[in-house]
């Protein structure tokens, strides 16, 4: 059973929307299947892809034009151009060309939307067409739609989430199996959850683009992605999970953005401790999860499959159908003035030291923290590690990140470190707040 | 920061939408506050409530007309009528009058939409106006919007969820504190999470109306609410939680509907075991959570605050703003032919017996199950209970609910029961399937 029939009477007198597609990879192929199951409303006219001779694989649809040229594609005078080629170039210029020709665009391209979303939305509005990008964030999870229509009456103050399935797969495997980071990464690569070159995922650049898009949609802030601090999950070690459990937490790659009262935002991407009872702790494997916080509605969560052909194709084709059914633009043009995200926030921190043990180490660390007004909450040390490579954890009370980092920078001169100290914020949600104290 | 400014240029030339409201309770008062914060787009013209003289409490808004009469209210020629009085009568006739006058309706009334949604949607379409009801299901959680726009391209096959905050509060308190049902209910009543007469909540009628609405929206099925089997959570005992943990599960009130391949649906509301790792197990306190399952997108979850003035008001005012911003109808008229939900499904079951112990009981129970082709999976018995009132649990392999119930009916003749046997399905998601086997 489908909800398709709900629309059949409305749609019978309309001509189908003419759609062209660039990019016939995993998502593109799923998009084509879904588009063809909605043939009363949309007509797939042409597909652009490299190596058309090899890719062309729809023997039952001889009417579809195959081309390697964007000129050919846009010459079909489509109503909607679906862009699924990824990366900024040439996607950005193709999208711009389509919008300039009055052709609506549906894209899954997070880089292009994160970098140029406000100006492209403005161009679409000027040309009387639409730019939609539900699939650019959290795959099939309809969080952009949720923010822009379901929560539009609220005054939203922040968004946080698990936006990168590769990192979540690695961290939840480390947690469940007690294995080192490298082993979990290799397993993720073998199973197709991580790329051969996983840098953009584990270093946070992928999640950074997505949180920049959510900042635009939820907070109306055109945040420059490069201004958002990213911390890699690669220093997370197996030993961090049992220590985190002592604090009733686990570890996730979290991206977040919060609005302050003066029109600015704080944002960050990186590994963090999250309470076991929190929604973020519950995201397993490659699942994505987004928490949208509003003054009236509190926290609303959206979860599901953040990647894969099927879920992303649902997002893309739902965007196309919204245009077919005459919906207005989902996201309207926002401010074109890009702003810089503040790196400042206050939170409790978890700091893991790995040391060659000798007397006086705790005293040295405690003194360094004290010099920066950082209060130690607890010292955790599990037995069973060799004295010359002993990991232990210091948890500190809510402090400005800058103070914690200055204290740690000072401690690098100490001679007892075997591995550099590794700090992660503890994201008790009330504790994430911007901390633009004087002089910072 | 708000996303309001994104719209300011678009809206400046439009006249604000004229809105009237019936019902000035907790949600109504929050709605009024939110409406007034969007005064460039909506103008609140009049409020209808009983005891106007006592209720009238907006000294800074002398322009608002107060009345006790629906005639006065609709005589204001509004664009939108917000109905928040609850219950079927007189709400249903008021909504019908408004739609007949071409006035769009936004309502939080689950009873009216569950019983008459299809015909009222059809009336709205005929009159060229809209009927929206996001707040009728899961309060502030934008699940109807999510289904109708974000997941519209998918072929949806089922919806399940925690749709009643009272039941979830009671069950999660029993789980966390190990207290009996009656104590948890009294606590919920004291804290305002349960009504003085909690029957509609704990017996499942509230969740039944909501799952009927979700069946209409997600599956296009006009299910008669009375045809959906409801089981009360009141037989759930404190002892069921540790037994459920043996099966790596906890207990929730779950409402679900699944489509079969022939255009029918199975549906049910009641207590169930859910795996600890499932999204349903993660809903805490009065939280609501809805899982929408699609062929392409898999499971998508929507969670948040299912009740309370703020979240419900966000849903109501977001519906009003969608009309103000020219959005098309969210849910289009579906089939007017009401269908009956099948009570049949197959799942593993958890059955708790409370017995006056003597030899031969397990053999008697096992024989009765065997006569109905129900296979026993495990027998669980915790120590420490008196022999004359001993609870133990039999878990059975996936079986048709009818077979389990016939076996239990046969066992009522046994003389060793101290409390009637209590059965709950185990909702491993793959195990919920309709089982319309021959002869049932």
Tens of pLDDT along B126-175? 999 999 999 999 988 999 999 988 899 999 999 999 999 999 999 999 99
CA angle centred on B198, ends B196 and B201, rounded to 5°: 150
Residue in chain B nearest A259 by alpha carbon = B1
Distance from CA of B60 to the nearest CA of A (A): 21
CB contact burial B21-33 (16+ within 10 A = b; e otherwise): bbbbeebbbbbbe
Confidence of residue A429 (pLDDT cuts 50, 70, 90): low
Say yes or no for a CB contact (<8 Å) between A220 and B156: no
CA dihedral for B408, B413, B417, B420, sign (positive or negative): positive
Asked whether the beta carbons of B275 and B249 are under 8 A apart, the reply is yes
ipTM score: 0.89
Nearest residue of A to residue B153, measured between CA atoms: A318
> What's the gap in Å between the CA of A1 and the closest CA on chain B?
6
Question: Nearest by CB to A301, which of B259, B303, B318?
Answer: B303
Of B10, B298, B332, the CB nearest to A10: B332
Contact assessment for residue A120 and residue A130, using Cβ atoms and an 8 Å cutoff: no
Out of A12-16, A71-75, A85-89, B147-151, pick the least confident. Answer: A12-16
Q: Where are the alpha helices (DSSP H) in B21-105?
A: 26-37, 52-55, 70-74, 91-100
Chain A nearest C-alpha distance from B200 (Å): 25
Which candidate, A298, A152, A296, places its Cα nearest to that of B310?
A: A296
In tens, the pLDDT along A386-411 reads 999 999 999 999 999 999 999 999 99
Q: For residues A301 and A280, is the Cβ–Cβ distance under 8 A?
A: no
- Using the predicted structure, report yes or no on whether residue B436 has a pLDDT greater than 80: no
Q: Which residue in B221, B297, B310 has the most chain A C-beta atoms within 10 A of its own C-beta, making it the best mutation to test that interface?
A: B297
User: Measured between CB atoms, which of A7, A142, A296 is closest to B34?
Assistant: A296
Q: What's the gap between Cα A61 and its chain centre?
A: 36
Distance from CA of B322 to the nearest CA of A (A): 7
Q: Give the nearest chain A residue to B326 (CA atoms).
A: A328
Q: pLDDT class for A15, splitting at 50, 70, 90?
A: confident
How open is the CA angle B271-B272-B278, to the nearest 5 degrees?
A: 130
Whether residue A1 and residue B221 make contact (CB cut-off 8 A), yes or no, is yes
Q: Do the beta carbons of residue B6 and residue A333 sit within 8 Å?
A: yes
Can you tell me the distance from the alpha carbon of B60 to that of B32, in angstroms, rounded to the nearest whole number?
Answer: 12
What CA–CA distance (Å, rounded) separates A155 from B188?
A: 29
Per-residue model confidence as pLDDT tens digits over A90-110: 999 999 999 999 999 999 999
Are the C-beta atoms of residues B214 and B160 closer than 8 Å to each other? no
DSSP H/E element including A243: helix A240-246
User: What are the structure tokens assigned to B164, written together?
Assistant: 């009643």
Tokens matching residue A208: 């950074």
Report how far residue B371's alpha carbon sits from residue B340's, in angstroms, rounded to the nearest whole number: 30
Measured between beta carbons, which residues in chain B are less than 8 angstroms from residue A220?
1-6
Q: From its phi and psi, is residue A81 left (phi > 0), alpha (psi between -120 and 50) or beta?
A: beta
Of B212, B176, B173, B206, the C-alpha closest to B190 is: B173
Residues of A acting as catalytic residues:
210
Do B300 and A5 lie within an 8 Å CB cutoff? no
Query: According to the model, what pLDDT value does residue A431 have?
Result: 39
- Are B333 and A6 an interchain contact pair (Cβ–Cβ within 8 Å)? yes
Which of A259, A51, A438, A142 has the alpha carbon at shortest distance from B153? A142
What's residue B13's pLDDT? 57
Nearest to B10 among A220, A325, A332 (CB): A332
Contact call for residues A339 and A222 (beta carbons, < 8 A): yes
Q: In angstroms, what separates the C-alpha of A319 from chain B's closest C-alpha?
A: 8
* Residues paired with residue B6 on neighbouring β-strands, in sequence order: none
With CB atoms and an 8 Å threshold, state whether A302 touches B297. no
Tell me which residue has tokens 């070159």.
A197
- Chain A / chain B CB contacts < 8 angstroms: 219
Over residues B198-238, the pLDDT tens digits come to 999 999 999 999 999 999 999 999 999 999 999 999 999 99
- Distance between CA A365 and CA A372 in Å, rounded? 11
CA-based nearest distance B271→chain A, Å:
22
Instruction: For residue A176, give how far its alpha carbon lies from the nearest alpha carbon of chain B (Å).
Output: 12
Cβ neighbours for B100, distance < 8 A, ≥ 6 positions apart: B123, B127
CB B83 within 8 A of CB B22: yes
- Tell me the chain A residues in contact with residue B318 when contact means C-beta distances shorter than 8 Å: 149-154
Euclidean distance between CA atoms B112 and B106, whole angstroms: 12
Asked if pLDDT for residue A421 goes beyond 60, the answer is yes
Query: Residue A121's closest chain B neighbor by CA?
Result: B6
Beta carbons of B303 and A305 less than 8 Å apart: no
Q: Beta-carbon neighbour count of residue B309 at 10 Å?
A: 19
- Nearest-CA residue of chain B relative to A307? B297
Q: Which of B5, B37, B154 sits opposite A314 (nearest CB)?
A: B154
A142, A157, A287, A333: best to mutate for the B interface, most B CBs within 10 A: A142
Residues A313, A319: Cα–Cα separation, whole Å:
10
| CB crowding A65-80: b at 16 or more within 10 Å, else e | bbbeebeebbebebbb
Residue of A nearest to B301 (CA): A303
**Whether the predicted pLDDT of B435 surpasses 60:** no
pLDDT per residue as tens digits for the range A314-326 = 999 999 999 998 8
Tell me the pLDDT tens digit for each residue of B321-371: 999 988 877 677 777 789 999 999 999 999 999 999 999 999 999 999 999
Report CB contact under 8 Å: B318, A282: no
Q: What does A176-202 look like in DSSP terms, one character per residue?
A: HH---HHHHHHHHHHTTSS-SS-HHHH
Residues from chain A that touch B310, judged by Cβ atoms under 8 A, are: 295-298
* Interatomic CA distance for residues A333 and A335, integer angstroms: 7
Flag the least confident range among A150-164, B191-205, B418-432.
B418-432
At B258-309, the pLDDT tens digits run 998 888 999 999 999 999 988 899 898 989 999 999 999 999 999 999 888 9
Residue B177 has pLDDT above 70, yes or no: yes
CA distance A179 to chain B (A): 20
To the query of whether residue B210 is one of the catalytic residues in this protein, the response is yes
Distances (CA, A) of A14 to A40, A42, A63, A77, A403: 9, 10, 21, 18, 62
Alpha-carbon Rg for chain A, nearest whole angstrom, is 24
Contact A282 B282 (CB under 8 A): yes
Identify the residue whose tokens are 């077979």: B403
Please give the structure tokens belonging to residue B409: 């009916």
Give the pair of three-digit tokens for residue B11: 């809206």
Task: Look at B279 and A284 and tell me if their CB atoms are within 8 Å.
Answer: no
Q: Which residues of chain B lie closer than 8 angstroms to A10, CB-CB? A: 332
Distance CA B264, CA A124 (A): 43
Task: Convert the pLDDT of each residue in B42-77 to its tens digit.
Answer: 999 999 998 887 777 787 888 999 999 999 999 999
Give the strands of the sheet with B65-67, arranged side by side.
B65-67, B42-48, B17-22, B80-83, B104-107, B131-132
Burial of A188-217, coded b for 16+ CB within 10 Å and e otherwise, reads: bbeeebbeeebebbbbbbbbbbbbbbbbbb
Task: List CB contacts (< 8 A) between A7 and chain B.
Answer: 332
Backbone angles phi, psi at B57, to 5 degrees: -145, 35
The stretch A245-271 carries a mean pLDDT of 95
Contact assessment for residue A309 and residue B322, using Cβ atoms and an 8 Å cutoff = no
Whether B153 sits inside 8 A of A313 (CB atoms) is yes
* Among A4, A149, A220, beta carbon nearest to B6: A220
Coil, strand, or helix at residue A357?
A: coil
Asked whether the beta carbons of residue B314 and residue A301 sit closer than 8 angstroms, the reply is no
Query: The tokens 């129900």 sit on which residue?
Result: B374
Instruction: Verify whether the Cβ–Cβ distance B322 to A279 is below 8 Å.
Output: no
CA B362 to chain centre: 38
| Residues of chain B positioned with their CB less than 8 A from the CB of A248 | none
Average pLDDT, chain B: 91
Lateral strand order in the sheet of A104-107: A65-67, A42-48, A17-22, A80-83, A104-107, A131-132
A9 pLDDT above the threshold of 80: no
């Amino acid at each position: 059973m489908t909800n398709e029939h709900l629309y059949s009477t409305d749609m019978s007198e309309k001509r189908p929307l003419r759609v062209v597609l660039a990019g016939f990879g995993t998502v593109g192929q799923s998009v084509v299947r879904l588009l063809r199951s909605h043939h009363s409303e949309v007509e797939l006219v042409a597909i652009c892809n490299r190596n058309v001779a090899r890719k062309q694989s729809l023997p039952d649809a001889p009417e579809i034009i195959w081309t390697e040229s964007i000129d050919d594609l846009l010459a079909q005078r489509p109503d909607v151009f679906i862009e699924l080629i990824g990366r900024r170039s040439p996607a950005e210029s193709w999208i711009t060309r389509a919008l300039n020709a009055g052709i609506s665009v549906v894209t899954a391209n997070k880089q292009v939307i994160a970098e140029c979303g406000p100006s492209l939305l403005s161009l679409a509005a000027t040309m009387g067409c639409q730019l939609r990008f539900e699939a650019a964030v959290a795959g099939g999870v309809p969080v952009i739609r949720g923010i822009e229509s379901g929560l539009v009456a609220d005054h939203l103050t922040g968004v946080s989430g698990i936006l990168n399935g590769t990192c979540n797969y690695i961290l939840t495997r480390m947690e469940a199996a007690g294995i080192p980071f490298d082993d979990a990464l290799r397993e993720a690569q073998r199973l197709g959850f991580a790329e051969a070159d996983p840098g953009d995922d584990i270093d946070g650049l992928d999640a950074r683009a997505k949180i920049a898009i959510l900042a635009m949609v939820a907070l109306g802030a055109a945040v420059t992605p490069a201004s958002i601090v990213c911390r890699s999950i690669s220093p997370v070690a197996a030993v961090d999970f049992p220590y985190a459990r002592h604090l009733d937490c686990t570890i996730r790659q979290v991206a977040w953005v919060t609005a302050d009262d003066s029109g600015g935002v704080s944002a960050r991407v990186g590994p963090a401790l999250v309470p076991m009872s929190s929604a973020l702790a519950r995201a397993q494997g490659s699942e994505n999860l987004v928490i949208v916080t509003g003054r009236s509605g509190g926290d609303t969560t959206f979860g599901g499959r953040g990647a894969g052909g099927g879920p992303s194709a649902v997002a893309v084709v739902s965007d196309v159908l919204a245009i077919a059914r005459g919906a207005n633009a989902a996201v309207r043009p926002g401010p074109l003035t890009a702003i810089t995200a503040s790196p400042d926030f206050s939170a409790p921190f978890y700091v893991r030291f790995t040391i060659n043990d000798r007397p006086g180490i705790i005293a040295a660390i405690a003194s360094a923290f004290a010099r920066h007004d950082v209060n130690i909450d607890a010292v955790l040390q599990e037995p069973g590690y060799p004295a010359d490579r002993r990991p232990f954890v210091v948890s500190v009370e809510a402090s400005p990140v800058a103070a914690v980092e200055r204290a740690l920078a000072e401690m690098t001169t100490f001679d007892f470190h075997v591995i550099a100290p590794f700090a992660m914020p503890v994201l008790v949600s009330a504790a994430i707040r911007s901390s633009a104290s004087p002089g910072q």
